[in-house]
A and B are shown apart, each in its own frame.
Chain A
Amino acid sequence: MSRPNPKQKFALQSIALLTLGVVSVLVWNVLKKTYLSDVQVLSVARVSDPLPNLFGDIYFFLSISFLGVLLGITCAFYLEEWLPETNWVRCLIEGQVSILSGVPSLLYGLLVVTVFLPYSGAFQRTQGFPPAGDLNTASLQVSSFQGDTTLFYIAVLTFVLLVVPRVIKATQEALRSVPIPIRESAYALGANRWQVLTKHVVPLSLPRVVAGACRAMSCALAVSALFIGIYISGYTIQPGQMSGRFALFLGAALLLSIFSSFLSQRYPLASTRHI
């Protein structure tokens, strides 16, 4: 396998830069809000007015997932299409990915609640256990603990661990499912790597890539919903306060997983015919 030519390198680098740019804007937004508002006031506000928070959370959740998915897909394309199978970076990442993507998503939620939150000191800073709706996975933390950047990083870290490996794995499998004779025929017609990728590999694998991304997001949403659910029954001051959020997350998780199954059924693995 030859190395990417300058044009392809440039395209890859611009994708990486773009992703980096979006991440930094997001981080900057959170940093700007740091310690500006009083945590207690906010949590009172959220109890009295849950609706804006609900959409705030979903918005945050979606933007982080979107970035995670984008990062995962880019990473998978790079590993699968550019690095040879024997490259040590590829071996290392693939090893990690196969471990991380095999861990049940529930464990990530437990990891957040039992390790990340206590050790980051999040509970201490908010004096006692957090206000209603905040003991779910870290994905919900930012809008609830508006001022706290550690929680933002916890959320991002959890997503990197939970969503990205799943997306990488699904994307790599989708790319591998593109029949080798199709690639070889396109190359035999004088197409270069970029043309083969954009004209054949991407269109053929796209449904399965999207299906994989939806499945990964569905896992994350489901585990969030579960912790919201546990929290409602255990700690909520005003029962029923969080049920809207619970329903929203659970509903989104279900919808995404159904959509994902639909996609993989509608576009089954292309049959590979060799001679």
Chain B
Amino acid sequence: MNTNSDRRSHTAPIIEINDLTVRYGDKPALNGISFDVYKNEILGIIGPAQSGKTTLLKVINRTLEFTAGTTVEGSVKLDGVDVNTVGDVYGLRRKIGMVLPLPVGLPLSIYDNVAFAPRTAGVRAKSELDEIVERCLQQAALWDEVKDRLNTLGTKLSGGQQQRLTIARALSHQPEILCLDEFSIAVDPITTMRIEDVLKELRAEMTILLVTNLVQQAKRLANRTAFMLNGDLVEIDTTDVIFSDSPGSQATYDYVNGTFG
């Protein structure tokens, strides 16, 4: 294991994961993994299906607790506070923007989709909401396409537009961390490239956890990349090292070069 040849260790970690073990019933999904995420980096997380990537994201924003029968051991700290004992779980979730693999349009208009999170957080003023909606849709590169029909249902948009809408929505509560779970799975290549450009710009403002099924996407975007396999963190290192001819583990080399997965 080669977990700590990290060039940013001078900045404080924003997420610290320590010996995290997760089980669904008796079935282990994560086997005691530990790593840190640093401020304003894009951390790519790659690995074949079923390796626990989605589970990891759900632990961080505590949506795993909606699945019955799960046990979580170890600690996940966000800004130094353990997420499992945090007092205000709603406030915690607002610090994290989450984009799921398939776009989930809330049954609301485009405007209300983006305004939902600010409203739940107590923003009432119309002008303020207008401003948030415009900013987020601009950031997600969707504003120009929908600015004339903000009141149509979000689910009426095309798949790629809906995924950008979910990104706008994930940005609407000004998160510190943006988590994307295989966002490109239902999106055409051109939209994927547009979203990747969006992410490059967002890097200056927030930390991004990019779970991806496209190995090359991690190579294009990530500062560091983690490779997960069957609930284990095989390796986490700078993207250059992971994609070099001699990463820390043979399994990483094989996966990255398409021998399996």
**Residues of B close to A85: CB separation below 8 A:** 68
Is A189's CB within 8 Å of the partner chain B? yes
- CB-based contact A183/B66 at 8 Å: yes
Q: What is the minimal beta-carbon distance from A22 to any residue of chain B, in angstroms?
A: 32
Residue pair A182, B106 in contact (C-beta under 8 Å) = yes
Task: Check A187 against B116 for contact (C-beta < 8 Å).
Answer: no
Report yes or no: B90 in contact with A191, Cβ–Cβ below 8 A: yes
CA gap between A187 and B65 in the complex, in Å: 11
Contact A275–B182 (Cβ < 8 Å):
yes
Q: In the complex the two chains form, what is the Cα distance from A186 to B63 in whole Å?
A: 10
CB atoms of A184 and B102 under 8 A apart = no
Chain B residues with a Cβ closer than 8 Å to the other chain, count: 30
> A195, B120: Cβ atoms under 8 Å?
yes
Q: In the complex the two chains form, is A190's CB within 8 Å of B173's CB?
A: yes
Q: Is A181 an interface residue (CB 8 A)?
A: yes
Please indicate the chain B residues that have their CB under 8 angstroms from the CB of A179 in the complex: 104
Q: Mark B152-196, 1 if CB is under 8 A from A, else 0.
A: 000000000000001001101100000000100100000000000
Q: What separation, in Å, do the CA atoms of A191 and B68 have in the docked complex? A: 20
Which B residues lie within 8 Å of A188 (CB)?
Answer: 61, 63, 93, 96, 98, 170
A126 to chain B, nearest CB (A): 54
CB <8 Å contact, B100 and A189: no
* Residue from A1, A183, A186 within 8 A of B116 (CB atoms): A186
A181 B102 Cβ-Cβ under 8 A:
yes
Q: Which residue of chain A is the closest to B92 with respect to CB atoms?
A: A190
Residues of A within 8 A of B117 (CB): 189-191
**B53-91, CB < 8 A from A:** 54, 61, 63, 65-66, 68, 90-91
A273 at interface (Cβ–Cβ under 8 A)? Answer: yes
* Chain A residues in 8 Å Cβ range of B104: 179, 181-182, 184-185
List chain B residues, Cβ under 8 A from A1.
65-66, 68
B121 at the interface (CB under 8 A from A): yes
Interface size class on chain A is: 20 to 34
Contact in complex: B66, A200 (CB < 8 Å): no
Measured CB to CB, the closest approach of chain B to A136, in angstroms, equals 42
Contact between chains at A184 and B66 (CB < 8 Å) = yes
- Please tell me if the beta carbons of A190 and B91 are within 8 angstroms of each other in the complex: yes
Is A180 in contact with chain B by the CB < 8 A criterion?
yes
In the complex, A204 Cα to B63 Cα: how many Å?
21
| Separation of A215 and B39 alpha carbons in the complex (Å) | 56
- When the two chains form their complex, are residues B107 and A200 in contact, meaning their CB atoms are under 8 A apart? yes
Q: Does B248 contact A (CB under 8 A)?
A: no
A contact residues around B100 at 8 Å (CB):
181, 184-185, 275
Q: Which residue of B lies closest to A180 (CB)?
A: B66
B32 within 8 A of A: no
Inter-chain contact B116/A199, CB cutoff 8 Å = yes
- Please name all residues of chain B whose beta carbon is closer than 8 Å to the beta carbon of A200 when the two chains form the complex: 106-107
User: Is there a chain B Cβ closer than 8 Å to A84's Cβ?
Assistant: yes
Please tell me if B101 contacts chain A, counting CB pairs below 8 Å.
yes
What residues on B are CB-neighbors of A183 within 8 Å?
A: 66
B94 within 8 A of A: yes
Interchain CB contact under 8 A, A190 and B93: yes
- Chain A 184-213, CB-CB to B under 8 Å as 1, else 0, gives 111111111001000110011000000000
Q: Check if A204 sits within 8 Å of B90, measured CB to CB.
A: no
- Known: A180-B66, A181-B104, A183-B66. Contact between A189 and B182, CB under 8 A? no
Pick the contact of B101: A184, A191, A275 (CB < 8 A): A275
Within 8 A of B (CB), among A102-133: none
The complex places the Cα of A85 from the Cα of B117 at a distance, in Å, of 29
Q: A192 to B90, Cβ gap below 8 A?
A: yes
How far in angstroms is the closest Cβ of chain A from B239?
25
CB of B68 within 8 A of CB of A186, answer no
Q: A187-B93, A192-B90, A275-B101 are in contact. List 16 more A-B contacts (CB 8 A).
A: A1-B66, A1-B68, A181-B100, A182-B104, A184-B66, A188-B93, A189-B93, A189-B94, A189-B173, A190-B91, A190-B93, A190-B173, A199-B108, A200-B106, A273-B102, A275-B182
**Which of A's residues lie within 8 Å of B, judged by CB?**
1, 84-85, 179-192, 195, 199-200, 203-204, 273, 275
> Can you offer 29 A-B residue contacts whose CB atoms are under 8 A?
A1-B66, A1-B68, A84-B68, A85-B68, A181-B100, A181-B102, A181-B104, A182-B104, A182-B107, A183-B66, A184-B63, A185-B98, A185-B104, A186-B116, A187-B63, A188-B96, A189-B93, A189-B117, A189-B120, A189-B170, A190-B90, A190-B91, A190-B117, A190-B173, A191-B116, A191-B117, A192-B90, A195-B120, A275-B102
